[in-house]
Amino acid sequence: MKKCLVILFLTAFFSAAAFAAGPREYQVTGPVLEIKDDVVIVQKGKEKWEIALDKVTKIEGGELKVGSKVTVYYFMKASKIEVQGQKEKQAPKAGAAKKP
């Protein structure tokens, strides 16, 4: 019985920790193609990755410049979500009488 309680406690603890951890961090590595005030463009294979920069972005290991090979660590964050395929219920028009 004691063993079952310990297993249950550990399962609940690690499940809660996983949800509290927040979004997953990703990375992309390649040469810098372009740097703007608020974005860095990195070449990964044939793709160009455009990643936003802000005042809290840390630059470590040297100067960020075009041609430098970098690894950019980032999180995905939704800025807007549009739900597709659902029609909104239309409110009845004011003054419209219901048919019997």
Higher per-residue confidence, 45 vs 100: 45
Kindly tell me if the per-residue pLDDT of 96 is higher than 70: no
Q: How sure is the predictor about 20, in pLDDT bands with cuts at 50, 70 and 90?
A: low
pLDDT one-digit tens code per residue, 30-65: 999 999 989 999 999 999 999 999 999 999 999 999
pLDDT at residue 87, rounded to an integer: 74
Mean pLDDT of 1-29: 65
Q: How sure is the predictor about 11, in pLDDT bands with cuts at 50, 70 and 90?
A: low
pLDDT at residue 5, rounded to an integer: 44
Q: Give dist(CA 10, CA 6) in Å, integer.
A: 6
Q: Which domains does the chain have, with CATH numbers?
A: 24-77 (2.40.50)
The enclosing H or E element of 7 equals helix 2-20
Say how many C-beta atoms besides its own lie within 10 A of residue 42's C-beta: 21
Mean pLDDT of 67-74: 97
Name the CA dihedral angle for 67, 70, 74, 76, rounded to a multiple of 10 degrees: 50
